[in-house]
Amino acid sequence: MIYKVAGKEKGTIICIHGNSSSSKVFENLLNTTEINQSIITVDLPGHGDNQKTSDELLTFSILSLKSFLLDIISDIDDEVLLIGNSLGGHLAIEIATEIKKLKGLVIMGTPPLKKPSNFDEAFVPVPELNSFFKEFPSDVEIEAVTEIAIVNKENKQRIIDDFKRSNPSVRSALAEDLAKGTFVDEYKIFTNLEIPKYIIAGDSDPSVNRSYLDEVKKDCKLNCEIFDLKECGHYPSIDRSDEFINIVKDVANKVF
């Protein structure tokens, strides 16, 4: 559920995966010897090895996922760098102001949403991506969304396995939260944060409106940087593993 690697230098890097995914997307980062800070990867409730069955967690609401993460982070007496992929990035933004020792924020596959929700502006309308909001997509639908979400096809099965293992209620809960507008104003939070912020953008990410990210950076003034990765889809930590690790290494050295 929680996987840790102790570092030799100050600073803790916390990695949060996306909807119907798991901490396995950060496996290469967790196993690298290139980074000297501590690294923590977590399986959100209903994902990976964290198949909780309590009534509270079965709601899988945004509020419960945020509470889960904040409980973990509250036990860390160290400076923190948050890294979030897709839903994990949205969660990272939403809890950022509640982390006292937050030194940096990295998001990928995560255009910060405004309030009221500007989903159509931030994301590209791709029918296959609707599978991320369906409780029981077919095997054909899962195969189709995975095919467009990842460039490195050698790792496609890992994405499929994570998807099928995740609790179906995760997706319906997320769809309900989006419909209700449960998300806070992530755009406002992200652009106003005074800490260094970084956006990793895959040139083949089927979901994110790349020009929207430029607007985000512009409104951030001076403390935001975008890393564009070629031949990279929705999962930079998998598609461009070496480049991703180098980015994290450089960012960690800057913020800690």
**For 42-95, what is each residue's pLDDT tens digit?**
999 999 999 876 565 557 899 999 999 999 999 999 999 999 999 999 999 999
174 pLDDT exceeds 70?
Answer: yes
> 11-20, 112-121, 204-213: lowest mean pLDDT where?
112-121
What is the mean pLDDT of the segment spanning 6-17?
94
**Phi, psi (deg, nearest 5) at residue 24:** -65, -20
> 90-94, 154-158, 234-238, 243-247: lowest mean pLDDT where?
154-158
How high is the pLDDT of residue 57? 52
Residue 181 confidence class, pLDDT cut points 50, 70, 90 = confident
Distance CA 222, CA 210 (A): 19
What is the mean pLDDT of the segment spanning 16-40?
96
How high is the pLDDT of residue 182? 87
How high is the pLDDT of residue 179? 87
3-state secondary structure of 2: strand
Say which residue the tokens 């070629």 belong to. Answer: 230
Residue percentage of the chain with pLDDT more than 70: 98
Token couple for 238 = 């998998």
Token couple for 239 = 């598609």
CB burial of 224-249 (b: ≥16 within 10 Å; e: otherwise) equals: bbebebeebbbbbbbbbbebbbebbb
Long-range interactions of 26-34: CB distance < 8 A, separation 24+? 26/83, 26/237, 28/237, 28/238, 28/241, 28/244, 28/245, 29/237, 29/241, 29/244, 29/245, 29/248, 30/3, 30/5, 31/5, 32/245, 34/245, 34/246, 34/249
How high is the pLDDT of residue 54? 59
What is the mean pLDDT of the segment spanning 186-208?
97
Q: Is 180 exposed, middle or buried (CB count within 10 Å of its CB: 0-12, 13-18, 19+)?
A: exposed
Residue 226 confidence class, pLDDT cut points 50, 70, 90 = very high
Domain 2-255 has CATH 3.40.50.300: no
Token couple for 215 = 């607007």
